[in-house]
Structure 1
Amino acid sequence: MACSADGLPTSEALSLLHEDISIALDEYQKTEAEKNKGFGPKSVLYEAFHHKSSLSVFHWTSVIALIVEGIVLLVAFAACNDPRYQHLPAESFFIFLAVILNVYLVWWDTQLRHKEVPRLTHNVLKDLKEYHGNVLWSAENYPHLHSPLSPCITLQWTRRDGNTVNLPWSLLVRGDIILMKPGQKVPARCRPMQVSSIIFIYS
């Protein structure tokens, strides 16, 4: 990729970002599809109900125990013709209802945990596709070059649209020209440019 000292235009950088995110999302969804086959240790079903899953809050053993309890109550009611046990069918009904409700909620929560990130990523891709052609970012839209370090977001001096801006690592793309300070951690695989010993190309 040919590189200018002015860095990438923002529109081109966002197009590259869209492409990279799309590739990563496709790989993630393929991996998830493989994991969800059967009842293996990586499947959603295993994660939701298996007693060895650290993410399960309602194990299959609890489901079986509650169902058996409900059946026992019904059998006891049928076997004992006693008015004192008229409440047993209602108790059994509420046990079955609680089991169904809990199974549904656990399954829904597990599905949500797996689908929320792809859904939000699709929204990001949609926004990138919509706005990458008419982005009007100026140097003032970025954090100040001398912003203090933050544990929440890592910033990188980057050349964009002919300006040096403080760009979050998550927005760096292939071909970005970055400026490294002494002792600074390299954000990814980079190669030095000839023009300066402190300027690198993000690759």
Structure 2
Amino acid sequence: MKMIEKSMKFIALMLYLILAVIPLYWIIITSLKDIKEVFVFPIKYLPQSISFESYRKLFVFTNFAIYFRNSLMVALTASFGALFITIFSGYAMSRYGLKFKRIILISLFFTQAIPRFLVLIPLYTMFAKAGMLDKLPTLMLLYINIMIPFSAIMAKSFFDRIPISLEEAAQVDGCNRLQALFKIVIPLTLPGLSA
């Protein structure tokens, strides 16, 4: 019985793997074909000759490098900016006896329920009045603000699982609260925070 169950799991996993790998394989193979070979019928699953012409056109005749750099800058800045803010906000909600902690958590939760398109016009108006349209920092700020509510709730739950006694032991050994956060708590929650 266990053998049949393992076989079924293996078959399901292999089918999923094939379905996941085929589109990736197709993209790579098509990118390495000559343009004439891409539209040939019947379809050829391997290129007759490998051609990097598509990549040359991509980098020479388009602004792909600039677009890629911009995307990378926005993604990294937004991710690390949101992580920095949510570490401190999640830690504060977890460890400090804030007066309105429950209200803050509920409001953070409900911001996730607001459809994104409802805030587009007010955000556009606000950024237009500030003269921040068509600028990368605007996009970075927008992404950071979108990520913060969910990330703060997640960070709080990660910090809740770390015993306070570890921080107290670090403070007995001479760490202040910030050092205990960076030397004890963050390394323990890093797998969760990095997700």
Q: Same fold (TM over 0.5)?
A: no
Larger radius of gyration: 1
TM-score, with length taken from structure 1: 0.22
Bigger share in helix: 2
